Amino acid sequence: MGRRLSGKIVIATHNAGKLREMRELLAPYGIEAVSAGELGLGEPDETASDFAGNALIKAQSAAKAANLPAFADDSGLCVEALGGAPGILSARWAGEAKDFYAAMDRIRREVEATGAKKPWRAYFISALALCWPDGHVEQFEGRVDGDLVFPPMGTAGFGYDPCFRPDGHERTFGEMTAEEKHGIPADGSRALSHRARAFQALARGCLA
């Protein structure tokens, strides 16, 4: 059992899609959430070599700057035929314009160039870090496997959701509602997305 979280927390992200999902996941637990962007906090350089390390960098930076517990996610899409790319570079593949349709097309072209046979397998990883101003840290991770779908389908969600169909389902994350994708509250069997599965572990350990 980890340290219990209550009261107010900083969500250490400037990504509107992640912020919306995190607030939806936290809402049933009565946690008041304010974003790093709303507090005017800067974005630290993500210099770690894995998702967990980058989540920790963001959460520790926000906790120190705001003197509040801080919650950060680092997540991305890993394509097996590309050796796990884009992975921790998932957001960077979308460029400064955050054009994920261009990034999805890049994935399609690069996988085609490998000659990989379909189905093209991929997985999403979400690493969560929860940090307190006194330095205490709790970390969690979730994963969901599936196939790549081209052309991308659906306009819900964000990022690479339209090109990812989770195992056991006929629709992409881009075609699913937030409740379908996450299960709210994330109660185990209903938690489908990588972020919901990581949050489920966090909720068991740190939320009443």
pLDDT tens string 98-109: 999 999 999 999
CA–CA separation, 154 and 151 (whole Å) = 10
Q: Please name the residue ranges forming H helices in the chain.
A: 16-26, 51-66, 90-93, 100-114, 178-182, 194-206
Domain contains 75: yes
pLDDT (0 to 100) of residue 1: 55
Residue 110, pLDDT above cutoff 70:
yes
User: Would you state the structure tokens that stand for residue 163, as one six-digit string?
Assistant: 């090109």
Residue 87 lies in a domain: yes
CA–CA dist 206, 208 (Å, integer): 7
CA distance 78 to 145: 10
What pTM was estimated for this model as a whole?
0.85
- Which residue range forms the structural domain that includes residue 174? 8-206
Distances (CA, A) of 19 to 70, 135, 153: 13, 23, 23
Dihedrals φ, ψ of 145, to 5°?
-100, 155
Catalytic residue selected from 45, 50, 74, 134: 74
Residue-wise pLDDT tens digits, 111-145: 999 999 999 999 999 999 999 999 999 999 999 99
2 occurs within a structural domain = no
Number of folded domains in the chain?
1
Instruction: Tell me, rounded to whole angstroms, the distance of Cα 43 from its chain centroid.
Output: 16
Answer yes or no: is pLDDT of 159 > 60: yes
Is the residue at 1 inside a domain? no
Give pLDDT tens digits for 165-198.
999 999 999 999 877 887 644 454 566 788 888 8
Burial (CB < 10 A; 0-12, 13-18, 19+), residue 40, is exposed
Question: Tens of pLDDT along 65-89?
Answer: 999 999 898 999 999 999 999 999 9
Look at residue 186 in the predicted model and tell me its pLDDT: 44
pLDDT recorded at residue 29:
84
Q: Which residue has the higher pLDDT, 107 or 21?
A: 107
Mean pLDDT, to the nearest integer, of 194-208?
Answer: 82
CATH number at residue 39: 3.90.950.10
> Residue 2 in contact with residue 138, Cβ under 8 Å?
yes
Annotation marks residue 74 as catalytic: yes
- Distance (Å, whole) CA 177 – CA 23: 15
The token pair at 125 is: 């990883």
